[in-house]
Amino acid sequence: MDRLYPRRTRLLAPQAKLARMQERGIAQLRARIARIEHRGRSRHRVLPFGVPALDERLPQGGLACGALHEIGGNGFGAVHGAAAALFTAGMLARLSGPIFWCLSRRDLFAPALAGVGLHPDRVVYAEAKDDAAVLLCMEEALRHAGLAAVVGEVSRLSMTASRRLQLAAEASGVTAFVLRRWRSVAAAEEFARTTAATTRWRIAAAPSSPLPVPGIGRPRWIVELIRSRAGECGIWEMEACDAQGCLALPGELADRSAAAADGRYAVTA
């Protein structure tokens, strides 16, 4: 027994050292990967949602600026994309600077954007004839660092097209949002195909907050983060953007832990 003890310490010491070396090695590798990923690019700002439950899921504590984000709707919402568009407008309202909004259909109603705090003077619309033209306009606009963000409404987004947008956004620091809008609910199945977007969201309308009197309370959405590069996914029921473009957790859920809320809505959604 007497001899075993020092032998065990001898045995342990190299192991601990090995673990430390491994840790250092991994840290070095991570740093190298980060350097490769951001070679020649400055790290961009982050736009927090101001809702801790959401922000702590995202790798940098908020939505990365200078990246491509993809937002779609659910069910009938995949066709009109109203919730997805207003979710985006809420984020844009909290950025500062001019915005390019490229579209091919003419049904966007600007007063609704003003209703979430996005002033009409900040938005320049570019009406292109089809998806391909929208993507070209987006890419061109993304090269101009003076913009805050570029939004495009398209139905198809190929891996190549999304990668081009992502690279253009990384290079200039302008944030890109692609709103997916399909011609029919069936066509929206395409959303399952992955793209190069940094985050992918699905926003669905949900019954509004209950009021003590008959009427419609503050609208709610089921906000689903279905892909997040180097981050976790999640699903939340949230109150829609207010006049400043801020989301909020519903009152009766705000004091519960995020995990509890997740558990509940992962089942019901």
Partner 1 sequence: MGDTPSPPEAPLVTAAREGQRRIIAAADHAARALGIEPGLDLAQAQARVPGLHIVPADPAADAAALERLALWALRRYSPLVALDSPDGLLLDMTGAAHLFGGEPALLKGMIARLKKTRIAARAGLADTVGAAHALARFAARPVAIALPRQTSEAVASLPLAALRLDPLLIDSLRRLGFESIAELAATPRAPLALRFGAEPGRRLDQIFGRLAEPIAPIQPRALIQLRRGFAEPIAAPETLARYTSKLSEALCVKLEQQGLGIRRADLLFQRVDNQIQSIRIGTARPVRDAARLARLFIDRLESIDPGLGVEAMSLRATLTEPLALRQRNALEDETGSDIAALIDTLANRIGAEKLYRAAPIESDLPERTVTRVAPLAPPGVAAWPAPWPRPLRLLTPPEPVETMALLPDHPPVHFIWRGTRRRVARADGPERIFGEWWRRAAEEAATRDYFMVEDEAGERFWLFRSGDGADPASGDLRWYIHGIFA
Instruction: Give contact residues for partner 1 (rule: CB under 8 A).
Output: 75-77, 80-83, 85-87, 97-98, 100, 106-115, 119-121, 123-129, 133, 136-137, 140-141, 144-147, 204-208, 214-216, 219-221, 240, 243
H or E stretch at 223: strand 220-228
Q: Of 2 and 121, which has the nearer Cβ to partner 1?
A: 121
Q: Of 133 and 226, which has the nearer Cβ to partner 1?
A: 133
Compute the least distance from the CB of residue 158 to partner 1, in Å: 21
Q: Of 126 and 248, which has the nearer Cβ to partner 1?
A: 126
Please name which of 199, 201, 138, 203 lies closest in space to residue 174, comparing C-alpha atoms: 138
Q: Of 6 and 146, which has the nearer Cβ to partner 1?
A: 146
Cα(212)–Cα(258) distance, rounded to whole angstroms? 26
Q: Of 37 and 107, which has the nearer Cβ to partner 1?
A: 107
Compute the least distance from the CB of residue 66 to partner 1, in Å: 16
CA end-to-end span of the chain, whole Å? 61
Q: Which residues pair with 64 in a beta bridge?
A: 46
Cα(69)–Cα(165) distance, rounded to whole angstroms? 10
Compute the least distance from the CB of residue 106 to partner 1, in Å: 8
Cα(201)–Cα(197) distance, rounded to whole angstroms? 10
Cα(80)–Cα(155) distance, rounded to whole angstroms? 11
Compute the least distance from the CB of residue 60 to partner 1, in Å: 25
Compute the least distance from the CB of residue 12 to partner 1, in Å: 59
Compute the least distance from the CB of residue 123 to partner 1, in Å: 7
Q: Of 61 and 187, which has the nearer Cβ to partner 1?
A: 187
Find how far residue 130's CA is from the centre of its chain.
24
DSSP state of 74: -
The H-assigned helical ranges of 143-240 are 159-172
